[in-house]
Amino acid sequence: MKIRTLIVDDEPIARRGLRSLLKAELDLEIIGECGDGIQAVEDIASKNPDLVLLDIQMPELDGFSVIETLGLERMPAFIFITAYDDFAVRAFRVHALDYLLKPVKAPLLRAALERARMMLTANVRQQEEQRLTGLLRELGAAQRYAEHLVVKANGKLLVLKVREVLWFEAYGDYIRIHQNGKKFLLREKIGSLEARLDPAQFLRIHRSTIVKLDGLKELTPLTNGDYSTILSDGAQLTLSRTYREKFFSRLR
């Protein structure tokens, strides 16, 4: 069976070069090319490739952000394409993750593809995830918070900017996202999402609610220790006493 492969690089010349080099790999099928990280997120989610050749340095949504947006559990096997400096390259080597330095050379590409084939057949996904987590931590990327979220709407995949979201609410197995007067559903638990949001911008006020701090307009104490909050879109939400102390300490 063919290994369905997606090429992701913001440079057209680099994409053409990779496509040309991959012609010699008879067990690979190139299912598409992406020129930016947002398109990569959409294509990975909709096309389900087996392997992604993933450029790291791209505008708006870089390679690391593509992985963070989708989540490790939804990422296929991948090989990084990088023009990073010596420090980052040493980090790649330490964590034994495959990378290719630009300009990509045919012998190195073949070696990386062979390792990818072994990973796909040996089912060593958990080990690969642990290595990537270690790499992100060493490079400092693990401290970055989600900047984009991928949702389905009207049969399409949309990439939402987190900074434009006003509040999130738990909705069964989903989260309802409130952004610019529109609502979207994200299949994720609210506790998992909370860990991916920048606490300087978003704060949980209830077991089922996370709000953007800049969106708060009013706070009114209630008799039971809770607070009534009003957001800039007019939504009236409850700040429960369970989250009250953390909320006010953050405001201070």
Residue 95: partners with Cβ closer than 8 Å, 6 or more residues away: 131, 132, 134, 135, 138
C-alpha angle with apex 135: 132 to 141, nearest 5 degrees? Answer: 100
* Lowest mean pLDDT segment, chosen from 42-56, 60-74, 97-111, 131-145: 131-145
Q: How far is CA 157 from its chain centroid?
A: 14
**CA dihedral (66, 9, 4, 27) positive or negative:** negative
Q: What average pLDDT does the segment 128-143 reach?
A: 62
Q: Are 120 and 77 in contact (CB under 8 A)?
A: yes
Q: Model pTM?
A: 0.65
Looking at residue 125, what is its pLDDT?
59
Return the minimum-mean-pLDDT range out of 81-90, 102-111, 122-131, 240-249: 122-131
Lowest mean pLDDT among 97-106, 107-116, 177-186, 215-224: 97-106
CB burial string 73-102: b at 16+ within 10 A, e below = eebbbbbbbbebeeebeebbeebebbbbeb
pLDDT for residue 118: 80
pLDDT score, position 13: 94
Question: Where do the structural domains in the chain lie, given as residue ranges?
Answer: 3-143, 148-251
205, 247 Cβ separation under 8 angstroms: yes
Residue 184 reports pLDDT greater than 90: yes
Inform me whether the pLDDT recorded for 88 exceeds 80. no
Question: Which two tokens mark 7?
Answer: 């090429």
Please state which CATH class domain 148-251 belongs to: mainly beta
What CATH number was assigned to the domain covering residues 3-143?
3.40.50.2300
Average pLDDT value for residue range 20-40: 94
